[in-house]
């Protein structure tokens, strides 16, 4: 990329029934970064979200398949830019922090800048959401051995090579988790930046369902562990199976040494069968660990086919 090239910047704003907030979000984004192209993706809204966004000056596109993950997948495939901004359309994130996030991406240069939420108004974070987020942060940080402070944040900045190498398999609000784990597993250079976070505008309603989406996120995390840490996942399964086999088989073995007989043959066979499953689980973990290394090599090479974002002069 030539030194004189000015990176193009695109903001992607997923929206579903954000008529009350989207006009201000577009105006604030334009004020924060005047040269940025703003794409509002309307996800089957039943209100005037698309009209308000268009009148505010945004490029409005539509994604008919419901779910934030589906919107992000479509936008990442369609939008061409050097730097990408992902922000919710509910006017809860402080757009004044966006220039600082973009500067952080370029100064690294980094491929992923995560906006870590800092409450500016009481009640911006619902207690259940905050507790769940902290729990997920702790769990993912331990499993993937990479610290993350706010993995469920919807405010991020990416390089082109991150976006174009991201598979985007999630359908709904699990997309933030997938983005975080992708950055960890590919070990891309990334940084966290504190950003302001406030309550939604009066009259608007959150689309996040605490328990439903929480269980979906937990399910995704477990699935990602199975794919990204297969030896750990299947190793734990193997250990649990081995313990069950030991609990069932230990009395049978003890009785055999005392009497020389195996009167509980079904228990003995069950114990042996479960022990075989434990060894199979460990074997599957080893095989998939080798497959994972090959897959990561391919992902890394695909990531490197895209030019890095320009650092600041």
Question: Which domain CATH number covers 201?
Answer: 3.90.550.10
Pairing of strands 83-86, 9-15: parallel
CA–CA separation, 118 and 230 (whole Å): 35
Residue 2 pLDDT = 45
For residue 259, being part of any structural domain is answered with yes
For residue 99, being part of any structural domain is answered with yes
Q: Are residues 74 and 210 in the same domain?
A: yes
Residue 127 pLDDT = 58
Regarding predicted confidence, which is higher, 144 or 121?
A: 144
Q: What pLDDT, in 10s, does the model give residues 191-225? A: 999 999 988 776 556 555 556 656 777 777 787 78
For residue 1, being part of any structural domain is answered with no
Q: Are residues 156 and 288 in the same domain?
A: no
Asked which of 111-115, 295-299, 308-312 is least confident by mean pLDDT, the reply is: 308-312
The arithmetic mean of pLDDT across residues 148-156, rounded, is: 92
> Which residue among 171, 205, 226 closes a domain?
226
Asked which of 21-35, 111-125, 150-164, 260-274 is least confident by mean pLDDT, the reply is: 111-125
Q: Are residues 182 and 243 in the same domain?
A: no
Q: What pLDDT, in 10s, does the model give residues 278-291? A: 999 999 999 998 88
Q: Are residues 235 and 253 in the same domain?
A: yes
pLDDT band of 173, cuts 50, 70, 90: confident
Residue 1 pLDDT = 42
pLDDT band of 125, cuts 50, 70, 90: low
> Which residue among 190, 209, 226 closes a domain?
226
Residue 207 pLDDT = 56
Exposed (0-12), middle (13-18) or buried (19+): which is 311, by Cβ within 10 Å? exposed
Q: Are residues 244 and 179 in the same domain?
A: no
The first and second tokens of residue 131, run together, are: 């507790």
For residue 35, being part of any structural domain is answered with yes
Q: Are residues 220 and 234 in the same domain?
A: no
Q: Are residues 48 and 192 in the same domain?
A: yes
Q: What pLDDT, in 10s, does the model give residues 62-94? A: 999 999 999 999 999 999 999 999 999 999 999
Three-class DSSP labels, 36-101: CEEEEEECCCCCCHHHHHHHCCCEEEECCCCCHHHHHHHHHHHCCCCEEEECCCCCCECHHHHHHH
Domain that holds residue 236: 230-303
pLDDT of residue 98 exceeding 70, the answer is yes
> Which residue among 178, 205, 226 closes a domain?
226
pLDDT of residue 12 exceeding 50, the answer is yes
Q: Are residues 185 and 235 in the same domain?
A: no
The arithmetic mean of pLDDT across residues 134-140, rounded, is: 85
For residue 48, being part of any structural domain is answered with yes
Task: Give me the number of domains the chain comprises.
Answer: 2
The arithmetic mean of pLDDT across residues 103-121, rounded, is: 92
For residue 313, being part of any structural domain is answered with no
SS3 state at 219:
helix
For residue 106, being part of any structural domain is answered with yes
């Amino acid at each position: 990329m030539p030194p004189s090239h000015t990176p193009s910047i695109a903001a992607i704003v997923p929206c579903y029934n954000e008529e009350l907030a989207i006009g201000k979000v577009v105006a604030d984004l334009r004020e924060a970064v005047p040269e940025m192209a703003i794409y509002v993706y309307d996800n089957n809204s039943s209100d005037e979200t698309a009209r308000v966004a268009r009148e505010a000056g945004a490029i409005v596109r539509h994604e008919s398949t419901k779910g934030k993950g589906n919107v992000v997948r479509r936008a990442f495939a369609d939008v061409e830019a050097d730097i990408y901004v992902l922000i919710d359309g509910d006017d809860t994130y402080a757009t004044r922090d966006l220039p600082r996030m973009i500067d952080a991406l370029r100064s690294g240069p980094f491929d992923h800048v995560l906006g870590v939420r800092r409450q500016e108004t009481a009640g911006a974070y619902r207690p259940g959401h905050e507790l769940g987020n902290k729990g997920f942060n702790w769990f993912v940080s331990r499993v993937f051995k990479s610290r993350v402070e706010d993995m469920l944040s919807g405010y991020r900045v990416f390089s082109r090579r991150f976006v174009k190498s991201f598979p985007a398999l999630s359908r709904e609000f699990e997309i933030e988790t997938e983005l975080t784990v992708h950055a960890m597993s590919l070990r891309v250079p990334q940084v966290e930046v504190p950003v302001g976070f406030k309550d939604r505008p009066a009259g608007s309603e959150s689309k996040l369902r605490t328990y439903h989406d929480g269980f979906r996120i937990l399910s995704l995390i477990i699935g990602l562990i199975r794919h990204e840490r297969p030896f750990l996942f299947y190793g734990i399964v193997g250990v649990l199976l081995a313990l069950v086999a030991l609990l069932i088989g230990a009395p049978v073995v003890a009785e055999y040494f005392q009497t020389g007989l195996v009167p509980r043959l079904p228990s003995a066979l069950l114990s042996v069968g479960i022990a075989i499953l434990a060894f199979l689980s460990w074997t599957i973990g080893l095989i998939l660990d080798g497959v994972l290394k090959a897959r990561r090599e391919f992902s890394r090479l695909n990531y490197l086919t895209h030019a890095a974002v320009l650092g600041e002069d």
